Structure 1
Amino acid sequence: MNHHELAQRLASLSLQDLFARDPNRAAAFTFAAPHLTLDVSRQRIDADALAALAQLADAMDVAGWRDRMAAGAVVNTTEVRAARHTALRAADAPPEVRETRARMRALAARIARGDLKGAGGAPISNVLHIGIGGSDLGPRLVYDALKDHRGAGLTLRFAANIDGADFADAVEGLEPDRTLVIVVSKTFTTLETLFNAGLARDWLGGQGRIAAVTAAPARASAWGVGEDLIFPFWDWVGGRYSLWSAVGLSCEIAFSRSAGTQPERTTFDRFLAGAAAMDAHFCDAPFERNAPLLSAAVQHWNRAALGRASYAIVPYAHRLQLLPSYLQQLEMESNGKRVTRDGAALTTPASVVTWGAAGANAQHSFFQMLHQGTEQIPVEFVLVKDAGGAGRTPLLANALAQAQALMHGKSEDQARADMIAKGVSEAEAARFAPHRTFPGNRASTILALDDLSPESLGALLAFYEHRTVAQAFLAGINPFDQYGVELGKEMAGALQPALAGEAPPPDDPATAAWIARLRR
């Protein structure tokens, strides 16, 4: 039976039917991985569908592409590069990675001791991280998620947007003489980042502390960064997979600051260790127990077989509120492609729209559509089992209830009976019952972290990286390039002189009309 036939058969069954047919379904479709548990029992799959997806994985050589990626072979076929981001957190990392990690720890220790001083002699107590995209979203998420692990006495701010208000907000209340600026750009040519770096240099008075994280150290040096504060990463590290490199320097500093001492194993080291544990699971576990690969298979099934064009990611943990934004870039920039790695047009879409927000806040916005809208949108609930703090029980209860409600729904008959039981007349109950009916039979996944430790967060983000590339391998696309971001940037460069009145507008009448309006 092919995927289309399997999908048609499953479409004729409700999720409740699938549970009724297999009393062991909840256990059979729940999988353990380092620091987390994956439950896909509420997805519209069964053993036959998983077997078909396993066959697809074999046909697409997913294991081979995975192993070649881990070994450092060229898997970024368009840019003819390796994608060795897993080497950044490996115990046997390459010498250049270990050397850079040691330099990161050393700088963090200097700042913690108060030994690194600004131009005026004051100890550094602020860090301004300047980057965009993969040079911003990952560190910002980690800093927010691991707030309980921050050291006292250091402020970390982020500036990404070319809108000057972002930079102004980032430096508000900071003293230039006490601030280390870290400019993060793989190429050191990123327009937005260099614009903000220029603002930062002016704000520092031209003589403050600036560090650079880049794969183009010569450009950083020419721009004016001292060699002792240039931290490299390499062209085999993609921007959205680069958090584990010196791109995470600001987090290393923020988490390492302590009472004048430097622990042997920093919080950032623990974060890397959690990711490395997930790497081992992804590389070693067979398909039927491989959580990232199984999750990728479900995502592929939802898109290619069932036609689900989007999914909602809803973390029921305030500290993970930035996870949807992080995943939007990771997943859509990686897999939002129209051709295979060989350049042939895709016959089925390879990517969905990733969107979402933190629960339970999201229940009061888009959950109306999830429950009663005409389009079926799978939901991924991210929980933290040992969250601690006030509100843990109602937070988890709400997450579980939403998954339950999406699956079971409420029939029109039940809605009518509930209203009559509350004293509503039969006529009124009949009138309003359609509005209070929940179709149910809507798919969801639960992904539960053991806790919100550095190890668990590292494992979670590595899980999503592996799921993303596995989806790409299933679809036969290259998840490591991003040519789709280039055209608009090129056009923006050409339009700036026209907006400034230094060049004629383009031939495009719609754009020319807007240039005329905006120049007034």
Structure 2
Amino acid sequence: MSGSAVAGLATLATQHISLRQAFAADPERATRFSTSACGISLDYSKNLIDDQSWQALQHLAENSPLKASLQAMLDGAKINHTEQRSVWHMMLRKNDVSGLTLDGEDIGAAIADCRSKMTALVNQLHQAQYIGYNGKAITDLIWIGIGGSLLGPQMAVEALTPYHCSPVKLHFAGNIDGAVVTDVIKNLDPATTLVFVASKSFGTEETKQNALAVRQWFTDHGADAKAIAQHFWATSSNIQAAAEFGIIAEHILPMWDWVGGRYSLWSAIGLPVALMIGTQHFAQLLQGAEAMDQHFINAPFSDNMPLTLALLGIWYINGFGCQAQALLPYSHYLRLLPSYVQQLDMESNGKSVDIDGLPLTDATAPVIWGDAGTNGQHAYHQLLHQSALAVPADFILPLNPAHGLADHHQRLAAHCFAQTQALMQGKTLQEATEECLAGGMTPAQAKALAPHKVSPGNKPSNTLLLPELSPYYVGALIALYEHKVFCQGVLWRLNSFDQWGVELGKQLSGPIYQALAGQDASKLDSSTQALIQAFLQQKK
């Protein structure tokens, strides 16, 4: 898909569509613009599309390299060409991994071995058979990671709270802010605490420094090298660095270069999820994701749910100039999903050059934001309804709750559906005026107040319904957004699997850290120098 083809969407988008009129004219609109996959249903009828524009978007997909790119990914081609890496995270959730080979390596055997080690460790912890250095069973596990090594498992653990069955308590430590690791360890006992360091390179600064702080905490409580080796595990590809830290080889689970961090939940990075919900339920999480994989691979473009979401996103970004998208889960347990999708989408497709290294002429990834409903209705939904900004929104609702308060859930669903209806139809000046008059206002009062109650409507949204928030459906939902991001990357002709922009800040932080320690800062810009001086002055 060329940049000019994407730019052509802006011309097509100028043809005004009134959603109110579209629904009034077509009683079957909701049926025609809906689809389902893996038990998840998608209603995309409240979008600014008609048959002509939707056919045009389908045409763009059909004439893109999407099919060839998907096949290249499945074949293990190094589609992450800037890092010369394959993209094989889908293989991690396959039920049958036998015979999987990549570059001469038996990947299937490696995946099976990793799963076996995860299961053995989780069983030990659940059965209080993992004994610490003073003879007591492990009661707590600290998971140290950042980015994809933290966001994925943290989100999934939260989403599947009703399935928690672990006697071992889980604690996440990610940010390099010292308050994080301090708060985690302050009420724990190192003698009954297991530590997992999740870092592919074993050199990520935030993860390394937090791991060092926790190791020092062990040492301060009398733990020797043998105790450290007993209590520390890692997921890493840098065996030597982990060994130098004090982690023995038997305690290192693999990380492969064909799995990007933001796609690593399905690997050993998912161990916190397996710990909290049990390995059988973790297997169901993988099954849900694999089911969505198969739908994505085999479904025709006209009925392909990830592609549908991708095309709608491109329609608004490149056709209407929208720069943001709201992700609004109507589930307390899915409240971390927007944060997870932020990294998945924005780190993948927030790029400025195409696969050939040439400047992109069209916008790509949107700013993703959101929170659990109904909290947002009393905050930023005001902007969604009455602002001149157009912010497409995905509403996500599990149909069956994990709690017994049926009326609560019925009210939650009513709010969810009402928000999508209100965004679509809005409130006209005439309707607002009539409402004011019906409330007892004089005509003059109604005329003064009514304009403030007008909502323009015609604001697009999707509604995703899950039967329930079970491991299977959570797995399918996550994979759905993964594939959506992949489709958009292909259609924009960019590499969704590198993140060189992230590296720049890391590179610049080194010299600044040295300057904060008192070394020469004269080569830095004047603003940074002033900030450093302010820090040093306060430190004194």
Q: Same-fold call, TM > 0.5? A: yes
Instruction: State the alpha-carbon separation in 2 of the partners of residues 507 and 279 from structure 1.
Output: 48
- Identify which of 333, 336, 360 aligns with 1:322: 336
- One-letter amino acid of the counterpart of residue 484, structure 2: R
The DSSP-based 3-state class of the residue aligned with 2:49 is: coil
Which consecutive unaligned segments of at least 5 residues does structure 2 have? 98-107
Cross-structure match for 1:78: 82
Instruction: State the alpha-carbon separation in 1 of the partners of residues 402 and 157 from structure 2.
Output: 19
The DSSP-based 3-state class of the residue aligned with 1:506 is: coil
Residues 395-406 of structure 1 aligned to structure 2 (within 5 Å) = 395-406=412-423
Offset of residue 252 of structure 1: 1.4
The answer to whether the Cα contact below 8 Å between 2:326 and 2:394 also exists between their aligned partners in 1 is yes
Instruction: State the alpha-carbon separation in 1 of the partners of residues 467 and 65 from structure 2.
Output: 32
Cross-structure match for 1:225: 247
Identity of aligned residues (%): 41
Offset of residue 47 of structure 1: 2.3
The answer to whether the Cα contact below 8 Å between 2:385 and 2:456 also exists between their aligned partners in 1 is yes
TM-score, with length taken from structure 2 = 0.92
Offset of residue 80 of structure 1: 1.2
Q: Does 1:240 align with 2:257?
A: no
Cross-structure match for 1:170: 184
The answer to whether the Cα contact below 8 Å between 2:10 and 2:318 also exists between their aligned partners in 1 is no
Instruction: State the alpha-carbon separation in 2 of the partners of residues 16 and 63 from structure 1.
Output: 36
- Identify which of 411, 426, 437 aligns with 1:420: 437
Offset of residue 329 of structure 1: 0.4
- Identify which of 20, 23, 28 aligns with 2:27: 23
Cross-structure match for 2:47: 43
Residues 94-113 of structure 1 aligned to structure 2 (within 5 Å) = 94-113=108-127
Offset of residue 215 of structure 1: 2.1
Q: In the TM superposition, what whole-angstrom CA distance separates every residue of 1:103-125 from its partner, at most 9, and x where no partner exists?
A: 10011111112221111111112
Cross-structure match for 1:125: 139
Q: In the TM superposition, what whole-angstrom CA distance separates every residue of 1:56-75 from its partner, at most 9, and x where no partner exists?
A: 22332111111211221111
Deviating more after overlay: 267-276 vs 380-389: 380-389
- One-letter amino acid of the counterpart of residue 509, structure 2: A
Q: Does 1:392 align with 2:409?
A: yes
Residues 269-348 of structure 1 aligned to structure 2 (within 5 Å) = 269-348=283-362
- One-letter amino acid of the counterpart of residue 27, structure 1: T
The answer to whether the Cα contact below 8 Å between 2:17 and 2:50 also exists between their aligned partners in 1 is no
Instruction: State the alpha-carbon separation in 2 of the partners of residues 103 and 507 from structure 1.
Output: 48
The DSSP-based 3-state class of the residue aligned with 1:371 is: helix
Deviating more after overlay: 425-434 vs 382-391: 382-391
Q: In the TM superposition, what whole-angstrom CA distance separates every residue of 1:13-45 from its partner, at most 9, and x where no partner exists?
A: 211222234321101111100031111111111
Offset of residue 152 of structure 1: 4.3
Q: Does 1:5 align with 2:27?
A: no
- Identify which of 482, 486, 489 aligns with 2:499: 482
Which consecutive unaligned segments of at least 5 residues does structure 1 have? 257-264
Cross-structure match for 1:202: 216
The answer to whether the Cα contact below 8 Å between 1:182 and 1:250 also exists between their aligned partners in 2 is no
- One-letter amino acid of the counterpart of residue 54, structure 1: Q
The DSSP-based 3-state class of the residue aligned with 1:169 is: helix
Instruction: State the alpha-carbon separation in 1 of the partners of residues 256 and 240 from structure 2.
Output: 13
The answer to whether the Cα contact below 8 Å between 1:188 and 1:219 also exists between their aligned partners in 2 is yes
The DSSP-based 3-state class of the residue aligned with 2:361 is: coil
The answer to whether the Cα contact below 8 Å between 1:182 and 1:210 also exists between their aligned partners in 2 is yes
Offset of residue 388 of structure 1: 4.1
Offset of residue 101 of structure 1: 0.6
Cross-structure match for 2:510: 493
Instruction: State the alpha-carbon separation in 1 of the partners of residues 185 and 372 from structure 2.
Output: 27
- Identify which of 135, 150, 154 aligns with 1:136: 150
Q: In the TM superposition, what whole-angstrom CA distance separates every residue of 1:195-239 from its partner, at most 9, and x where no partner exists?
A: 000011112224340100012222212221111110002000000
Residues 343-492 of structure 1 aligned to structure 2 (within 5 Å) = 343-389=357-403, 390=405, 391-492=408-509
Instruction: State the alpha-carbon separation in 2 of the partners of residues 213 and 405 from structure 1.
Output: 47
Offset of residue 500 of structure 1: 1.5
The answer to whether the Cα contact below 8 Å between 1:60 and 1:476 also exists between their aligned partners in 2 is no
Offset of residue 505 of structure 1: 4.2
Instruction: State the alpha-carbon separation in 2 of the partners of residues 417 and 372 from structure 1.
Output: 19
The answer to whether the Cα contact below 8 Å between 1:57 and 1:63 also exists between their aligned partners in 2 is no
Q: Does 1:253 align with 2:259?
A: no
The answer to whether the Cα contact below 8 Å between 1:495 and 1:505 also exists between their aligned partners in 2 is no
The answer to whether the Cα contact below 8 Å between 1:81 and 1:236 also exists between their aligned partners in 2 is yes
TM-score, with length taken from structure 1 = 0.96
Offset of residue 250 of structure 1: 1.9
Instruction: State the alpha-carbon separation in 1 of the partners of residues 245 and 260 from structure 2.
Output: 23
Offset of residue 143 of structure 1: 0.8
Cross-structure match for 1:507: 524
Instruction: State the alpha-carbon separation in 2 of the partners of residues 394 and 204 from structure 1.
Output: 49
Instruction: State the alpha-carbon separation in 1 of the partners of residues 315 and 487 from structure 2.
Output: 13
Q: In the TM superposition, what whole-angstrom CA distance separates every residue of 1:318-374 from its partner, at most 9, and x where no partner exists?
A: 000000100110000000001111111112111111111111000111011111111
The answer to whether the Cα contact below 8 Å between 2:323 and 2:367 also exists between their aligned partners in 1 is yes
Q: In the TM superposition, what whole-angstrom CA distance separates every residue of 1:400-443 from its partner, at most 9, and x where no partner exists?
A: 00000001111111111111111111111111111111111111
The answer to whether the Cα contact below 8 Å between 2:48 and 2:458 also exists between their aligned partners in 1 is no
- One-letter amino acid of the counterpart of residue 13, structure 1: I
Instruction: State the alpha-carbon separation in 2 of the partners of residues 507 and 233 from structure 1.
Output: 37
The answer to whether the Cα contact below 8 Å between 1:287 and 1:293 also exists between their aligned partners in 2 is yes
